[in-house]
Structure formats: C-alpha cells, structure tokens
Chain A
Amino acid sequence: MNAMKSIWENYKTDAAYDELMSSEFQPRQISHRLCQYLNSLNKSDIDKRKIAAELAILEMGISFTVYSDEGNIDRAWPFDIIPRILSAKEWRTIEKGLKQRLTALNCFIADVYGNQDFIKAGLMPAEIINSSKNFRKECVGMKPQHNVWANICGTDLVRDKDGVMYVLEDNLRVPSGVSYMLENRVITKRVFPELLQDIDILPIDDYPSQLQAMLTSIAPEHISKPQIVVLTPGIYNSAYFEHAYLAQQMGAQLVEGGDLVVNEDDCVYMRTIEGLEKVDVIYRRIDDDFLDPEVFRKDSSLGVPGLMRAWKAGNVSLANAPGAGVADDKVVYAYVPEMIRYYLNEEPLLPNVQTYLCDNPEHLEYVLAHLPELVVKPANESGGYGMLVGPHATAKEIAAFRQIIQQNPRNYIAQPTLAISTAPTLCKGKLEPRHIDLRPFILQGKNTFVTAGGLTRVALRKGSLVVNSSQGGGSKDTWIINMEHK
C-alpha cells in the first residue's frame, strides 16, 4: 500500500467506525474500487478535480444562506469530492426501517389529532403532547388525504463505533437538503466520470418525479391534475435555492405568500397574468407559525391569511400538514420504537439512540450527574443550535447548561456522546477522517418512497461532531453500490 502514502499519509482512524477503511491502510470491500482509483491519481490530479468541483458549484449557483452574513446572502455550498459509500445490501434494511418508522409516525400524528389511543393505552404521558409547542389544537379532528400528515421526512442517521446505524432524529416540519443531495451527484458525475461509469451506483435523480407524484396523490378528491405550488418564505431564506430548485425540477410554480389569496369560497388562488388561478396542492416550506396570520402568528407577512380555513374545508392540500411537527420533538422521538410496536405490531428495524428525558425525575438525576459525557439537546430546535456537547464543553458551559435544564426540564433530552462514524475527506490535499451523518428523505402519500442514500453531511473541522451547514459542515455525494453481480 505504498502507493497510498501520498494522499493517505495523515490518515489516522480512531475509535470511530470508518465508513470506507477497515484500518488505516485497508479499504473495505465496498470502497476497494474507489481507493484503487484515488491511488491512481497524483496530487495535482486530485487538486484539479477539487477545483473543477468548486467551479461547478459556483457556476451552478448552488448556495445556501447564513443569517448572520449581512449583505452576503448566498454562500457557495461546501462540498467534499470524496464520496461516502454504503452497500445496497445494508441499504435495503435501512430503507425498510425508514418506511416502517414514517408509517408509525404518521399513525401517531393522526392518533394525536384523533382519539389519542396511544396515550389512553398508557404508553405516553398526555402531558408531553399538551406541553408541546408543535401541537396545534386547530388540527384536532382533521383528516388529510390517506390520513398521512408528514409527507416529506428527513431522518438523520448516524453510525456508532459498534457499526450499527441509529436514528438520531426525524425532521417532519420542513426538512431541507434534498437539492444538495441531487446536485452533489451532478457534480460528482462531472468530476469523476470514469469512476461512475464502472461502479454500479443506484441512481437518485428520480426524486423530483417522486415528489411530484406524491404531491399529486394527496390532492383534494376528484382532482387528477392538480395545480401544485412550492410556497417559499422568499429569497432571503436559507433554503431558497432548494425551493427554487425543486419547483423548477417538478415544473411547479414557486410562490411567495403575497402571490396567494384565499377568497370567500375558502379556496386558494394565485395571482397570475390571467387573473386568479386555483391552487390545489401546496408544498409549503414555511413553518406552521408563519403559515396563516389569521390563526397562528399575527405578525407573519410570509404566510397567507385564510390558508388554514381553506385546508380545513378540504379545498387545498398542504404538505406537510399543519401540526405534523408534533412528532418532530426530541421527547416524542424517544417513544417511536413503542409506536412501531403499537400501531404496526412490528419490531423496529432501526434502533433509536439511548435517550434520557429530563422531564423524568430519574432520568434528570442521571443527566445532571453525567453532563460531561452527554449530548444535551433542546426538544424543539433544529440546525444544531442551543445544544451542549459534554465532552467538548468547558466547566463553565456545563454549569450554565445545568441551570438551563433545571429551569425547563421538559424542553431537554440527553443522549450518550456517540463516536459517530468517519469517512476520508480531502483536507488541504490530504485525506483525513471526518465525522459524518446521513439524511435520507422519505416521501409518503398514497405510496412510500425512500431516496437511494441521502445527503451525507460532514463536519469539516477536525474532531467536530456538528455537521450542520450553518455551523461549518459540508456534504458528500452518497453512493449505494450493488456488489452482488460483480
């Protein structure tokens, strides 16, 4: 393996599982071909590909926004050219597990806004729902198409040092990242055309068609060719690129709140050059809070007054349905394995991470005693904000967090610090292990669909476990490869 020396000389794996390497110098079977190929390139070849990828990203205008960057509203998307690989065999189990999970979650949401049998059966304290800020009393009694509330879900998976894939969280509100997953493949095709030709990688580019099919399947009854729109908060939103991208790929209209109006007939219309045109399905990328100033936040200028009326009258379908976020709560998360058993009568195929609910006095006591080892997260935040990573925190930070938890235990959960897996990542011309996670996207309407792989996010800073793009994370192309007929 001398040839590997040049770009691999800094490669020091640690306790974490490495996705591509079984030891410092030994590729796993799935990454054998990739490593062989990388070794055939010299340093300047690799640099050239990296530069080519960066150029492609600039020209394709793939960007995201960081709120604190004044004036500079779009930033190029940090991309690592070395792909992350999973075998199709492992993927098939994960895929089944993801479908199972979302199906159970949708049963749960429908139950929460219906009979609350799960709670009545004593499987979850009613208090958890009553105190959830994502529980929307306006949704009680509603029944969306197919009784599916969360139509688009992004589930975060991580692999611990035992090699097992765990579910870290389910994003059921407005999960983002799928456009980057798609664009990453486009870039990889440009950068490594030779490689993609001779490895059997599952394609991912049917996502927009699947998304459109799902949205069509949830249209109000008797509408076979619905008018579908993507509702964006506007060009200053961090995911605006994605909203525009998905609308364009589906051939749907990209609209802002001001383009829509709800008339006295409780139908939603958009303002077009031909006058008002009826809208049937809204893929909304606006949080519940801002969706309808008549019902939720009065100061919202992003939403559409009357939208909830139209939805409750059954004249328009919203994806995800308002209120679906009730299951996107890190406390509710702890109950998902139980939901799978209760609603589906199955054993969970994908395990949860051990979770301590600070609400529970026994758990709380344990958490407070073990803060330096734990990761503590607020129940309702996203984007990696407001969390404590015990092993990386100072004594002062830990003391401050102790107080915060005690003030509002319901709002916090804790988990052991996982040694989340690593993958080789290009750092200044050399490969180094960096921690990664995986966000597959699951669509559920009439049918259920899972992307082949998902978005692999990578913590670009050495040793960092935080993969969010707003906090120094980047991404990688994700390959699900078929080894069987080789």
Chain B
Amino acid sequence: MLSRSAERLYWLARYLERTENIARLVSVHMNLLMDLPNGVEMGWLQLVRINSSEKQFYDKYKVANERNVTRFLLVDESYYGSLFSSLSAARENIRTSRDLLPDEAWEQVNEMYLFTKNNLDFVYNRSKRIELLNEILKGCQRFTGLLSGYMSHNHPYRFIRLGRNIERADMTSRILDLASLLLADSRSDEMRQYETILWVNILKSLNAQLMYRQHVRSSVNGDDVLNFLLLNTTLPRAVGCCIAEIADCINALPNNDSLPELLVKLEAYVQAINIRQTTQAQLRGILDDLQNKLGDLHDSISKNWFLQAVAE
C-alpha cells in the first residue's frame, strides 16, 4: 500500500468522523436546549468552545445564538472545522483514493456531500436542520457499515480505523471537557437542579446512554459517567475503547517500529486515570494531557508511515 494512499485514507476517516461528531453534537444540543430553562450555562457557545474555535467565531459573528452558531459549525465554508468543510475534505480524500475502496464508499460520501451542498440553507430552519443532521448521521453510519461489510479488513481498512479512532478519542475528550462545567464549584443553582439531565445529555452525545445503564446499573451521576466514558474498553466512543482499537490496528500494520510500545504506555496511562472526586480544574488538566498525548500519537503515526513519500 502506498504511503500517500495510507495518509489519504487516514484523513478521510478523520474528516468523516469529525463530520459525524459535529452532526451529533448539534443534534443532541438542540434536544437538550428544548428541556432546559433559558440562561443556564449550557448555551450555544459551549459547542464552539468544544471545538476550541471561539476566536474564529467572534471574528465573524457578534452573538453566539442558535442561528449564528449552527451556521458557523455546520455550513460555514470558510471555517475549516465546520461540518461542510470536513465533509468536503473527506470527499476530496476519497475522490483521490477510489482505487482502494468499494465503489459504494465513494458514492455514499459523494451523495452526502451533494445533499449538503444543495441544502445549505436547511440550517436556518429547525425542522429542516434536523432533517439535514439525520441525513448526515445516517450517511456516516452507512459508510462505516458498508466498509465493514464490503471491504477486506486489510491495511487500507486499518488506516481508516486508525484515523476514525484517533478523531473519536479526541472528540470524546473534548465533550468531557464540556462536562467539566458540571463540576465547577461556581455552577448555578439552576444547573445543579438539572444536573441529571445534563449528564444524560453527555451520554447521548456519545451514543452511550443505553450501554451506560446496562453497564453501571445505577442512576446517572457524574463520577460514573466520567469513569465509563474514559475507561470502558468496549463502548465504541469511550476513550479506553478507542485506544484499544488504535492499538489493534497498529499491531497489525507493517513497520510499526516503536509504536506498539507507545500504545502500551498510553493504555496504561488512561487506565490509571482516577477521576473519583476530582475538581473541575483537575479534570481539565487530565483531559488536556490526554489530548496532547493523542496529538503526539498522530505525529508518530505520520512520521512512521506517511512521510516516507517525502523523506528519501
């Protein structure tokens, strides 16, 4: 497999995962806001914060309201982190990797792209926006499903899984960052009152509600949710599970050099995280550290397999 192709597939998967994550995030947030009273600290700006894009946002918009934030996150072509930008980048990567994937994979991404491109104005109308988001969520799931069913689970497939899981772990850690608000000592009485709804919302945004209930078998509470989403190794969007998937791919790829060792260390690091009774500041520290480690992992992967094409 060409190094260049490996890199394109890796990024294809990252961009598609990002597309799906943004869609789910906005979709869950819309539902949540219908339940919450106005003025709770869970406003639309939180979504911009999760993506660390406050500066880009305020360069263009004055108010962080529903209209501006959804436009920015979903269809703003000049913001590289928007759903449409991610989807366009995914399409460009798959367009140039068609020799490695089943036809249907390209058609699926292309269809989603065309649908979004032709309906960018859906974002301004709530029910249309929900339609758009559902289309994206379904489309991303179809893509994952058809690769799993139509494609050999070979090296190209492993690079796709690799990209997907790094992006996924990163997003989960960002969502947990948002959750850290719920631990703030300064949080309002209103927020304390709605705490359970908010924790459930965190679970929903990672498709983890049902699995949490089956696994934890207690009422929803902060400590358990954090533990579950960080350490569980079977829930697809839990950090522990993403790391296990990454390790699995890396161990099966050729020329993996020192990467398996790095992964063993990372797994141990994650499992040693203790978040019982942490403060907001401690949790943020842990998550920052985790995000940096994921960034380093990306650099090592890139150095190991992608840079070949330039190096010699």
What is A's interface to B at a CB cutoff of 8 Å? 58-61, 74, 230, 235, 244-245, 247-248, 252-256, 258-259, 261, 270-275
Using Cβ atoms and an 8 Å threshold, which residues of chain A touch B98? Answer: 244-245, 247-248, 254
Inter-chain contact A261/B312, CB cutoff 8 Å: yes
Q: Which residue of A lies closest to B306 (CB)?
A: A273
Please state if A273 and B309 are interface contacts (CB–CB under 8 Å): no
Taking the closest CB of chain A, its distance from the CB of B258, in whole angstroms, is 16
13 pairs from A and B in contact (CB 8 Å cutoff): A61-B95, A61-B106, A61-B107, A235-B96, A244-B96, A254-B99, A255-B2, A259-B2, A271-B309, A272-B2, A273-B254, A273-B255, A273-B305
Residue from B2, B106, B254, B305 in contact with A253 in the complex, judged by beta carbons closer than 8 Å: B2
A59 to B95, CA, bound (A): 12
Interchain CA distance A255-B97 in the complex, whole Å: 10
Query: Could you tell me if B308 and A273 are in contact, using CB atoms closer than 8 angstroms?
Result: yes
Contact assessment for B2 and A248 in the assembled complex, using a CB-CB cutoff below 8 Å = no
The verdict on B114 contacting chain A, using a C-beta distance below 8 Å, is yes
- With A59-B107, A274-B254 already in contact, the answer to whether A247 and B99 are too (CB < 8 A) is yes
Contact A59 B2 (CB under 8 A): no
Quick one: CB contact mask for B22-37 with A, threshold 8 Å, 1 for yes?
0000000000000000
A220 to B300, CA, bound (A): 38
| Residues of chain B at interface, number, CB under 8 A | 26
Residues of B within 8 A of A273 (CB): 1-3, 6, 155, 253-255, 305, 308
- State whether the Cβ of B49 lies closer than 8 Å to any Cβ in chain A: no
Contact yes or no, A235 B255, CB < 8 A: no
Instruction: List residues of chain B with CB within 8 A of the CB of A60.
Output: 103, 107, 110
A59 near B4: Cβ-Cβ < 8 Å:
no
Cβ contacts under 8 Å, A253 to chain B: 2, 5, 99
Q: List 16 additional A-B contacts (Cβ < 8 Å) besides A235-B96, A254-B99, A261-B312.
A: A59-B111, A59-B114, A61-B106, A230-B99, A244-B96, A245-B98, A248-B98, A248-B99, A253-B5, A255-B2, A271-B4, A271-B309, A272-B1, A273-B1, A273-B3, A273-B6
- Indicate the member of B4, B5, B114 with the most A CB atoms within 10 Å: B4
Contact B103 A271 (CB under 8 A): no
Chain A residue contacts of B253, Cβ below 8 A: 273
Known: A59-B114, A61-B95, A248-B98. A272 touches B3 (CB 8 A): yes
Interface centre among A252, A253, A254, A273 (most CB of B within 10 A): A273
Verify B110–A61 contact, CB threshold 8 A: yes
A271, B107: Cβ atoms closer than 8 Å: no
Chain A residue with Cβ nearest B3: A271
Q: Are A259 and B4 in contact (CB under 8 A)?
A: yes
Q: How far is the CA of A207 from the CA of B83 in the complex (A)?
A: 39
Name B142-183 residues within 8 Å CB distance of A.
155
Interface of chain B, helix or strand or loop or mixed? helix
Closest to A260 in B: B2
CB distance from A346 to the nearest CB of B (A): 40
B residues within 8 A CB of A259? Answer: 2-4, 309
Give complex CA distance A230, B100 in Å. 13
Which partner residue on chain B sits nearest A270 by CB separation? B2
Q: Complex formed: what's the CA distance from A259 to B99 in Å?
A: 15
Contacting residues of chain B (1-45) with chain A, CB-CB under 8 angstroms: 1-6
Pairwise interchain contact A271-B308, C-beta atoms closer than 8 A = yes
Residues on the B chain within 8 Å of A235, using CB: 95-96
**Interface contact B255-A275, CB-CB below 8 Å:** yes
Closest to B158 in A: A273
Chain B residue, CB-CB nearest to A258:
B309
Q: Which residues of B contact A244 (CB under 8 A)?
A: 95-96, 98-99
B106 contact set on A, CB distance < 8 A: 61
Q: How far is the CA of A244 from the CA of B96 in the complex (A)?
A: 7
CA A258 to CA B305, docked complex, whole Å? 15
Please, how many angstroms separate the alpha-carbon atoms of A247 and B111 in the complex? 22
Measured between C-beta atoms, what is the minimum distance from B80 to chain A in Å? 18
| Min CB gap A275→B, angstroms | 7
Using Cβ atoms and an 8 Å threshold, which residues of chain A touch B114? 58-59
Residues 167-215 of B contacting A (Cβ, < 8 Å): none
CB neighbours of B305 from chain A (8 A): 273
List of A residues within 8 angstroms of B308 by Cβ: 271-273, 275
**With a CB–CB cut-off of 8 A, which chain B residues contact A245?**
98
Select from chain A the residue with minimum beta-carbon distance to B101: A248
Bound: A270/B98 CA distance, A: 18
CB distance from B173 to the nearest CB of A (A): 27
| Pair A271/B2 contact, Cβ less than 8 Å | yes
Instruction: State the CA gap A244–B100 with chains docked (Å).
Output: 9
Q: How far is the CB of A426 from chain B (nearest CB, A)?
A: 23
Bound: A274/B254 CA distance, A: 6
Q: Are B103 and A274 in contact (CB under 8 A)?
A: no
Closest CB in chain B relative to A32 CB, distance in Å? 35
A189 → B minimal CB distance (Å): 14
B114 to chain A, nearest CB (A): 6
